[in-house]
Amino acid sequence: MPAKHLRRIVCLSATLASTLPCIAAPPARACRQAVIEGEVTAGQPFLKAIGGNLALYLQPIASGWIIRIVPASGPRGEHDYAELATPPYNSVTALSLSTDFAFRAQDAVGWNPRRFHFATNPQTFSQLLHAYQAFPPPPASPPASAEQQLASLLPLTSQGTLRILDARMIPGTADQTPMAATVASHFASTAHTVDQLQTPTPLGKLLWLKFRTELDLPPAFVPAPGLKIQPSVCSSL
């Protein structure tokens, strides 16, 4: 290649490189966050409407609570809007605020914050349910087509974050499992009180939690009246 042509290419490349930083990035889409603070005592539920006939629900179970997004009224099916949007299924999940999966009470508190996703409308939920039904029961592995279908739907969901602000518990005496060690790294930095009057057990028990939940709401979502709202940038997967 003639030297003069090469010089032109180099100059053109340098010119393009120098102008690229000047190209403004597309503006981030404006969303809103619903902010919900509350407390739960062992065995007691928490329910708060968020709009769109949906509600944040901390479902009490023997080992703690399950974080759910459910219909605010009408029948509730076997699955909820957060469960199907937060894979993996039938496995350790941020939605399980409990001593399930051999997590000790201090591990459940130490997994903080917890991030999950949820559908914000019945249409997306129905699509997620259809994708979920293609997954075989464990321990069988799902087909690639089912995983691909699920992956294509997750960008349609919104993100939620639950942060434990304070806790009271009976700590477990068992050794920490490797799985718990990978996620439960904030126990020392989370406010908590240890109940030393009750008999300890291998996994312990969650007695009380104070929490703050932030739910990303898409622009078209109509929040429930009285719900605390703050501006936010839309999350993306």
pLDDT tens profile 131-175: 999 999 888 888 899 999 999 999 999 999 999 999 999 999 999
Cross-strand partners of 160: 116, 215
CA dist., res. 92 & res. 109, Å (int) = 15
Residue ranges for the chain with pLDDT beneath 50: 1-26
pLDDT at position 154? 96
Element (H, E) at 13: helix 3-19
* DSSP-assigned letter for residue 223: B
How far is 109 from 91, CA to CA, in rounded Å?
18
Query: How does strand 228-233 pair with strand 46-51?
Result: unpaired
What's the confidence (pLDDT) of residue 137?
Answer: 87
pLDDT for 181 equals: 97
DSSP code for 234: P
Bridge partners of residue 35, in order along the sequence: 214, 228
Query: Is 40 in contact with 65 (CB distance < 8 Å)?
Result: yes
Q: Are strands 158-171 and 193-194 parallel, antiparallel or unpaired?
A: parallel
Vertex 14: Cα angle to 12 and 18 (nearest 5): 120
Q: Residue 176 CA to chain centroid, in angstroms?
A: 23
Q: Cα(92)–Cα(235) distance, rounded to whole angstroms?
A: 23
pLDDT of residue 11: 40
Determine the Cα–Cα distance for residues 118 and 138; give it in Å rounded to an integer.
23
Question: What pTM was computed for the model?
Answer: 0.85
pLDDT of residue 159: 98
Residue 163: CB atoms within 10 Å:
16
The predicted pLDDT at position 172 comes to: 98
Within its chain, how far is the Cα of 185 from the centroid?
A: 17
What is the predicted pLDDT for the residue at 236? 61
Task: State the amino acid at position 147 in one-letter form.
Answer: E
CB burial class (10 A; 0-12, 13-18, 19+) of residue 7?
exposed
DSSP β-ladder status, 54-61 and 64-71:
antiparallel
